C-alpha cells in the first residue's frame, strides 16, 4: 500500500519511498551526508560490518531516533533460532539503539546443499519472537524466492512483511515480485542501479534523454512505478540528492514494460540457490 509519504506494510508500519543503501559504506561522513540530503531509512546488515560506524552517525546526527527507519539483517551463516536472536542483539548493540524498525533474513539458506527448510522454520520463529516482544517493528526476508516464502507462509504466526531483492531494469525478477505483490509482501530493491552496470544501456540512455533525467533516476522511478522501494547507495552528496529527485515525472506504462522486458542486463550473478 502507498500513502503520500511512502509505503505502508501489512501491519501498518510506514516507511519512506526510498532508503539509503550502506553496503561497502565505511565512513561516518557518508551516512551524515545521506541524512542531511534527506534520507531517513538506512539499510544495513550484520554482514556489512558497518553497524558501529552507523551507530556513531546516528548518535552524532542530531535527528531523533523515532524519525529514523533502521533495517538490519541476519547473515546466512547465522541462521537458526539462537543464532538469529544473538545476531539481532549484536546489531542493536553496535547500532547503539533499543529497537530496530525492520529485521530481515538476509538469504534463505547457508549453502547450496543445505537442508534449509527446518533451519528457516527455526529462524522465522526467532524473527516472530523479536516482533512479538516489540524489539522490532517489522520483520521480513531478503533474496527469498516464492518456494522459500511458501515454506514460511504455510505455518507462520506472523507473515513476512518485506522481501528485499535484486531489482532493476534488466533484472526485475517478475515471478518473485508478482508473488510478493499478490501476497501483500512489500518488495525492496537492492542494487536498484544495478551497481551502475545498467546505466550505459541504450534503452536507459534513450529514456534518460526522453524524460530529461539521468539513467539512475530512470532506474529509481522504474522501482517506484512497480511499487518497489529502492535502496540506492552513493558516496557523493550530489548523487544522493539526484537519487531523491524522482518525484516530478512519470514513466509511461509503455516505457515501464519496455524496462521490465528488456534482455537480462546487469545481473549481479547472485542467486539464493547457486553459490
Ligand X SMILES: NC(=O)c1ccc[n+]([C@@H]2O[C@H](COP(=O)([O-])OP(=O)(O)OC[C@H]3O[C@@H](n4cnc5c(N)ncnc54)[C@H](OP(=O)(O)O)[C@@H]3O)[C@@H](O)[C@H]2O)c1
Contact status: 232 vs ligand X (CB under 6 A): yes
Please identify, among the stretches 50-58, 84-92, 126-134, 189-197, the one whose residues bind ligand X according to the rule CB under 6 A: 189-197
> Catalytic one among 23, 39, 48, 131?
48
Q: Per CB under 6 A, does 170 bind ligand X?
A: no
Q: Is 257 a catalytic residue?
A: no
CA 191 remoteness from chain centre: 9
Residues within window 139-158 making contact with ligand X, judged by CB under 6 A: 142-143
Strand order in 69-74's β-sheet? 20-21, 41-43, 69-74, 100-105, 136-142, 162-166, 186-190, 228-230
Only one residue has cell 556489512, namely 48
Q: Which residues of 131-170 are buried (b: 16+ CB within 10 A; e: fewer)?
A: beeebbbbbbbbbbbbebbebbeeebebbbbbbbbbbbbb
CB of 30 to ligand X, least distance (A): 8
Cα dihedral sign, 136-139-141-147: positive
* Least Å from the CB of residue 82 to ligand X: 23
Residues 11-30 that bind ligand X (CB under 6 A): 21-23
Quote the least distance from Cβ 232 to ligand X, whole Å. 4
Q: Based on the shown chain and the rule CB under 6 A, indicate whether residue 39 belongs to the binding site for ligand X.
A: no
| Interface residues toward ligand X, by CB under 6 A | 21-23, 43, 106, 142-143, 164, 190-196, 199, 214, 216, 231-236, 239, 242-243
Amino acid at each position: 500500500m502507498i500513502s503520500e509519504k511512502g509505503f505502508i506494510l501489512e501491519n501498518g508500519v510506514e516507511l519512506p519511498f526510498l532508503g539509503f543503501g550502506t553496503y561497502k559504506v565505511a565512513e561516518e561522513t557518508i551516512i551524515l551526508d545521506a541524512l542531511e540530503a534527506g534520507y531517513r531509512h538506512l539499510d544495513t546488515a550484520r554482514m556489512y560490518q558497518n553497524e558501529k560506524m552507523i551507530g556513531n552517525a546516528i548518535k552524532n546526527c542530531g535527528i531523533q531516533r523515532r524519525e529514523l527507519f533502521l533495517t538490519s539483517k541476519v547473515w546466512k551463516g547465522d541462521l537458526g533460532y539462537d543464532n538469529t536472536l544473538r545476531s539481532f542483539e549484536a546489531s542493536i548493540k553496535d547500532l547503539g539503539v533499543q529497537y530496530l524498525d525492520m529485521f530481515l533474513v538476509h538469504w534463505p539458506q547457508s549453502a547450496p546443499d543445505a537442508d534449509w527448510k527446518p533451519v528457516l522454520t527455526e529462524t522465522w520463529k526467532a524473527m516472530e519472537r523479536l516482533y512479538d516482544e516489540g524489539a522490532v517493528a517489522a520483520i521480513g526476508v531478503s533474496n527469498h524466492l516464492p518456494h522459500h516464502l511458501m515454506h514460511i507462509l504455510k505455518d507462520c504466526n506472523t507473515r513476512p512483511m518485506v522481501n528485499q531483492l535484486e531489482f532493476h531494469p534488466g533484472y526485475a525478477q517478475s515471478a518473485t515480485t508478482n508473488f510478493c505483490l499478490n501476497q501483500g509482501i512489500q518488495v525492496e530493491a537492492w542494487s536498484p542501479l544495478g551497481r551502475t552496470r545498467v546505466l550505459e544501456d541504450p534503452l536507459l540512455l534513450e529514456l534518460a534523454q526522453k524524460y530529461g533525467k539521468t539513467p539512475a533516476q530512470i532506474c529509481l522511478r522504474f522501482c517506484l512505478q512497480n511499487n518497489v522501494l529502492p535502496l540506492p547507495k552513493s558516496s557523493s552528496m550530489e548523487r544522493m540528492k539526484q537519487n531523491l529527485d524522482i518525484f516530478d515525472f512519470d514513466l509511461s506504462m509503455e516505457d515501464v514494460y519496455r524496462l521490465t522486458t528488456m534482455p537480462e542486463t546487469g545481473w549481479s550473478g547472485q542467486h539464493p540457490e547457486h553459490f
